[in-house]
Structure 1
Amino acid sequence: MLTFEEKQAIIESYPELTRKDVSMKRVNYHYLDSKFDKTVVVQHLHPNGNAFVYVADIPGYEPDGRGLVNVREASEAELRQVIEDAIKGLSESNDDREPVEEVWRDGNNSKLELKEELDAWNVYHGLNLEDSFGDYQEAVDYLKEEGFRKVGDDGVIE
C-alpha cells in the first residue's frame, strides 16, 4: 500500500488538480475545469492512506452510491489510471465522447450488448431491447446478476 506521502506526490503531479485541506488532516483535490458541477477528483486523502476517487458513470469502475471508489490499496499505476479517468470523465460532456457499446457473454456463450443511448443504458439481445437502466452501474449489476461477463476489446472475457 502506498503511504499518504506517496499518494499525495502522485496526485500533486497532476497540475490540473487543486489542493484543498479539509477536516481531520484530510485533503481533497479538485478539477476546476470540470464541465459539471462536480469538481472533486480525490476526496478525503487521509494520513492513514485512505482516499476516494470520483468515477461515477465511467465504464470499468464499480463506484459506491456517491460515485466514488476507494483507492487505499491501489498501486501507483492503478492510482494514476483512476485519476486520469476521473479527470477525463469530468472534462468531457456527454456530447464530446463516443457512446459506450460493450459486449457481454454468459457461460453458454449467449451474447448481450450494453449500449449508452440518450442518457440511458440499454441491454440488447440481438435487435431486441432486453432492459433499460438509468446509469451504467445499474446495467452492469444486472448483467452480472444474470451471469454475464464483459468481453474486452481483445475478445477475451474479463
Structure 2
Amino acid sequence: MTAADLPAVMAIERATFPLDAWSEGMMRGELDEQPRTRHYVVAVVDGEIVGYAGLAAAADQADVQTIAVLETHQGTGIGGAMLAELLGEARRRGAREVFLEVRSDNPRARAVYEHFGFEEIGTRRRYYDDGTDAIMMRKKLDG
C-alpha cells in the first residue's frame, strides 16, 4: 500500500468500519512506518482496490492491525489471501507469535482467523467505540 492508495482505502475503511473507522491521518502514520515496523498491502480486482491489510512487527511479535474487504468481495478468499501474506511477512521478520483483536459480533472474521490457526486468548471488554467487546487471538508461528 502507498499513499496513492489512500482514497480507495479510506472509502473501504469507512464502509467496513462505520462506527470506528481510522482517520486518514492514522492510516498515513501507519504507512510512514513502512517498512521499518509496518507492512501494508492492498488487494486489486479488475484494477480496483477491493481490500487492504496491515501488520505491525517488532522483535519476535507481530500484530494484525487491520483487514478489510469491500462487502461485494467478501467470501471470495481475498481476506484470507491478505492474511496469508501478513503471516508470511511476520515469519520473514522473525516473529514467533501474531496477535489480533476482532469484534465479538463478527463471526465471519473470527472463523477466518480460526481457520488460519488463531486461538482465542481473552476478551477486551467494550474495546470498540460502540461498546462492543474485542476477542483477542494469537497464532504461534512455526520456527
Normalising by the residue count of structure 2, what TM-score does the alignment of the two structures yield?
A: 0.29
Q: Which of the two has greater helix per residue?
A: 2
Higher RCO (C-alpha 8 Å, min separation 6): 2
TM-score (norm 1): 0.27
